Each structure stands twice: as structure tokens, then as C-alpha cells.
Amino acid sequence: MPQKSAKTVETAAEKGVQRCIAADCGASYPLTERIYLCPRCGGTLEIDCHLAASSRNPAELRKTWAARAGSREAIDVSGVWRYREVLPFDEPIPFVTLFEGNTPLYQAARSASYCGLDNLRLKHQGCNPTGSFKDTGMSAAVTQAVALGSQTIICASTGNTAASLAAYAARAGVQAGILLPHGQITPAKLAQSMDYGAAVCEIDGNFDDCMRLVQELGADPSIYVANSINPFRIEGQKTVAYEMMEQCNWETPDHVVVPGGNLGNATALGKGFEELLTLGLIKRLPSLSVIQAEGAAPLAHLFAQLIPAQFAGEAPLPRTMAPVENPRTLATAIKIGAPVSWKKGLRSVMRSGGRIIAVSEQEIADAKAMIGRDGVGCEPASATTVAGIKKLVASGHIGPEESVVAVLTGHVLKDPDYVSHYHRGTLAFDSGAKAGASQQPIAGAFANVPERVAATKSAILASFERRR
Ligand code: F0G
């Protein structure tokens, strides 16, 4: 159980400020203010942990973090709180943890050759306690909610944020209020939220409707919003960049590639990498690219329209983004038409020289099966990365010999129906081209169908032989 203390809230203000990212505003607010958008201009907020002015020695930080990896103290075991020097909380931190982070970085030979790369690494964030990358950020957001004394923590979700909030709120003994688009969440994700005791509201609408409602509800003083517009979520999630670089022996990969939904993940990783550079822990930024599903790709559309002056940082970035009215994809986790963190996500990609592109349903499905052949299971949204890397290699943005890390965001068991349909050849996608019609089948190019085999040794051996 976390300890509540007024002192924690008071002293937290010294560890940084919340700052508006709008170039013509830049207003700053104490960490103790329960705000999600800039009260002055409505702009997006981020936390400035005063790391630029920090006199921390990079070698000392590396040593401290490496030593904690061998500790049994809960605050050190957590892959978020281990990096507490760069987080906006003063000790004693009333941290809420399920021992998030510490996720594996796998070499993936088959996926690499599928993409046309010499090698590819997969950072599997689906190995977090609730099976998705949301847990690192949620640990920080729920800790802040507890420090502020909130009664109910809410989120809109396509399923994973919900499961994560439900679990962390349960740990903290606080109510989780969850808004889900009715009928659009995988049964596994919904079951998690139910099991962790959250107040689940199935809303008649899509994710973007739920997000709008969350922003309205957030005005109530008893409520704390845990979506990625909350800058404390981003703080917890940025530690993934620290952990990844530690696993890479502080040698920056050429490219890091993430799926894009609400754009919280791109924002968090981008912030983490920029801080690592500021602190002298790495020598250059990786190029950060974001991959969206074709039917839910508002930022990829916007990116395709950017002019060369914007790439060179000589012209301001766009102020608006046209939403996708009816987002469509079988990767339900990223079925989002109006991502709330698009400005911060776009800024991170632009600063790093990355790309934002879209991939088709067929490309996602085949990439997912290929990742599976490396012995690594992920949910469909995660596979946009490998599908996107294949395209970026083909277009020359990624060189075959460059080092690439794909961030997998969710576990394969988050959506087993999808997997089963793919392999049995029954996966189909409602293209939405004509109302009520056009189910487009998705071919299982790497389908692996179970065989019905007689209960004899010889029949089983023959079956193995056929499929060797
Ligand atoms: N991958 C998975 C498995 C996700 O659940 C999400 C987002 C994303 C990628 C996209 O990440 O939003 O940071 O760009 N899921 C949210 C949710 C929207 O409610 O679980 P993002």
C-alpha cells in the first residue's frame, strides 16, 4: 500500500514543473496542480524535470542503476522507480508498483530477414505485469493520483490502458473508472478490467467518443485522468528509453520503431531519448518512427503532407490534424481517429529524423505471424512495427545493415481470436467501403493449421514428417 503524505506533495514541486509545449505560451505550473492541458492556452503539457541544469555524472547514474538491478527493495526492483533520479517525485515516494518494466530485448533473426535487415531486436513491452506497455506509465500516474488524494482514476481505452489502470488502482486501493467503446474491446482485455474490480462503463460510441467524455469528467475535482494526456503517465513510460539504452550498453540504435495510436508511446520514448542525450548518457538520438494501421492513420496522412522546410525545422509544425471519422482496423488497440497526444508525438518524430507511415491489414497480419516464428508472441497492434520496418527498408529510409529496435506493445494472449482466425484462414476485415457489405478476407500467408491426427504413433510421426 502506498503511504499518503502531504509532505510528498509539497516537495514534489521542487523536482520539476508542468510546462505548456505551445511555442507561443510555455507557461509553467507546479507538479501538484491537477491539470492535463494548459489552463492559459489549452495547449499540451509536459513535465520538465530540470535535467538540463542537472550536474549529475553519467557514469555515476549508470553505476547506481546497474547496482539497483541486483537489489531486492521494491523501489529498485521496479523498472520504473529504479530510475527515480529522472522522475518528478521526491522521496519518500508513495510509489504504486506491480514490478513493471524489466522487459526483454530479443534478437529476432527471422523477422530481421523478413524485413531485409541484417539484424533486428524486439523490445517486448507485452512482458509487463498486465501484458502491455501501459504499466510503466500507469505506475507513475497512479502514484501521482494517490499523492493528490484522488478518489477515482479514470481512462478511455481500447482495452490495455483500462486493464493496466484497473490493476494499479486495485493495488493502491482507489476506484478505477473505465470508459470502453462497447463491443470493440477484445474479450481478454475486458476480462482483465473486470477481474481487477474496476467500474467498467461500456459506451455506445468509439474510442474518440470515450476520450471526449474523459476530458469532460476530468473537470470534477474527485477525479484523476490517467490517459496519456496526463504528463505523469509519460514520465513513467519514458523510463523504457532508459532501460532500452542500458540493455544496448548505452549504444544508440539507428532506429527505434513504435506503433501509433494515441501517440503517448512515441511521446514518452522521444522524451526519454532526448533526456538521455541531455544527461550525456547517450551520444546521439535514435531516429524514432511511428507506424499506424491504414484505416486509423490520421498522423501518417498529416506527415505525408509536410513540406521540406518543416523537415528541416525551418517552418512551424501544423497546428491542426484532420481526424479519421470512422477508424477501422483489426488491430483494435490502435483503432483511434483523433489521437490526443499527436502534437507531442509528431514533435518527437521530427526532432529525431524519423518517419510516420501506415501499413495494411494484410501487412500487419503477416508481420505478426513472422514475429511468432521467432518465438515471440505479440498482439496485432505491436506487429505494425515489423510491417512498417519492412516498408521503410524497401523505401531506403532504413539501411539493411543499420541497427533497429521494434517496440512490441502487447502480449499475444491479449487477442487470441485474431491469431486463430489468421492461421485457420478465416480472418476478415470490414473495409467499410459499402455499408453492411465487403468483408475483405486476409490471407494467412504464414498460416499454420492444426491437423486432426489418428491416435497412433505412426500417424503422428507421418504428420510431423509432412510439416517438417
Ligand atoms: N499498442 C497497443 C497494444 C496499445 O494498446 C496501444 C494503445 C498502442 C499500441 C498505441 O500506443 O496510444 O501510445 O500511441 N492503446 C490505448 C489503450 C489507446 O487504451 O489501451 P499509443
Q: How far apart are CA 427 and CA 446, in angstroms?
A: 13
User: Is 410 touching ligand 1 by the criterion CB < 6 Å?
Assistant: yes
Is residue 393's pLDDT more than 50? yes
Is residue 458's pLDDT more than 90? yes
What is the pLDDT at residue 13? Answer: 44
Is residue 431's pLDDT more than 80? no
pLDDT tens string 134-177: 999 999 999 999 999 999 999 999 999 999 999 999 999 999 99
* Nearest ligand 1 atom to alpha carbon 345: 14
User: Percentage of the chain with pLDDT > 90?
Assistant: 88
pLDDT tens string 100-130: 999 999 999 999 999 999 999 999 999 999 9
- H helices of 181-226, where? 187-195, 207-217
- How many beta carbons lie within 10 A of that of residue 5, not counting itself? 12
The Å distance, Cα 280 to ligand 1 centre, comes to 30
Confidence of residue 432 (pLDDT cuts 50, 70, 90): low
How far lies 258's CA from each of 124, 269, 408, in Å? 11, 9, 7
What is the pLDDT at residue 4? Answer: 38
User: Is 379 touching ligand 1 by the criterion CB < 6 Å?
Assistant: yes
User: Is 78 touching ligand 1 by the criterion CB < 6 Å?
Assistant: no
pLDDT tens string 172-188: 999 999 999 999 999 99
Is residue 435's pLDDT more than 70? no
Q: Which of 185, 265, 335 to mutate to test the pocket of ligand 1 (most atoms within 8 A of CB)?
A: 265
Q: Which of 108, 191, 199, 95 is nearest to 154 (CA)?
A: 199
Q: How far apart are CA 156 and CA 173, in angstroms?
A: 20
pLDDT tens string 334-376: 999 999 999 999 999 999 999 999 999 999 999 999 999 999 9
Among protein residues, the one whose CA lies closest to atom 15 of ligand 1: 333
pTM (2 d.p.): 0.94
